[in-house]
Amino acid sequence: MENVEKRGTGKTKFALALSTALIIVLVVLNVWTYTNLNTTYQGYVSVHSHSNLDYDSLNFDYDLLNTTYQNYVATHSHSNAEYDAYVANHHHTDAEYNNLSDIVNLTKSTVWIKDQTISQPAHSYTTWTPVFSASYAGYVSVWVQTSTTTNTYVQVIYSAYGVNYDQQITVGTGGTAVFPILPCLDIEIRVGNVNLLTGATETVTITYHY
């Protein structure tokens, strides 16, 4: 009987020791888990927390932006009637748009004089009546196809927008002279010679590019 009691006592002590060890392990795990969770929570709070000052600042910025927006709407709003009127006055067809685009890019042209033969005495010039007019800024090309003298010149004269334009270019027995043109009602074009004794004959084509 004594041996049986000793064996039972040993088993009881072992069970107590094992239970104690397990309890200690669980306590340590609980402490470690709590510590880590608390550290993580505090880090989150430090990153995501905002003071009342922060919120007040955000609210102030929002109110300022909203006020600016409302002021813009108040000063830039238009009625449907105003919008419809704008569309009606500023609408262009594709043909009108293409025409304006061509004018801006100087791809349109009008022939003012074509293959016309003219003559003038020595040291004189020929001009055209009525004088030419241009509705758009562009340039004029004067092509002297042939001339009987090397002393042939082309001259363009006009006044527009405070500019008094007067330029003369020598083309000899043939050549093209080009002149910039502002919108103008009175553009005088001369083709002449500076011969001392004999006159000259030229064949001329004049084209307005705009």
Structural domain includes residue 103: no
Domain count, the chain: 2
Does this model's pTM top 0.75? My answer is no
State the average pLDDT for the chain.
Answer: 79
Do 155 and 167 meet the contact criterion of CB atoms below 8 Å apart? yes
Question: What would the two tokens of residue 47 be?
Answer: 């990153």
Assess whether 190 and 115 both reside in one domain: yes
| CA 147 distance to own-chain centroid | 49
The closest alpha carbon to 155, from 145, 169, 144, belongs to 169
pLDDT in tens, 111-158: 999 999 999 999 999 999 999 999 999 999 999 999 999 999 999 999
The closest alpha carbon to 193, from 121, 128, 127, belongs to 121
Given pLDDT bands bounded at 50, 70 and 90, which one contains residue 71?
confident
Assess whether 113 and 183 both reside in one domain: yes
Assess whether 199 and 114 both reside in one domain: yes
Structural domain includes residue 101: no
19-33, 65-79, 99-113, range with the lowest pLDDT: 19-33
CA distance 130 to 199: 24
Identify the domain containing residue 174 by its residue range: 108-209
Assess whether 116 and 189 both reside in one domain: yes
pLDDT in tens, 109-123: 999 999 999 999 999
Assess whether 62 and 112 both reside in one domain: no
Q: Return all residues near 59 (Cβ < 8 A) that are at least 6 apart.
A: none
* CATH code, 131: 2.60.120.380
DSSP state of 131: P
Structural domain includes residue 89: no
Structural domain includes residue 99: no
Structural domain includes residue 116: yes
Assess whether 49 and 115 both reside in one domain: no
Assess whether 117 and 70 both reside in one domain: no
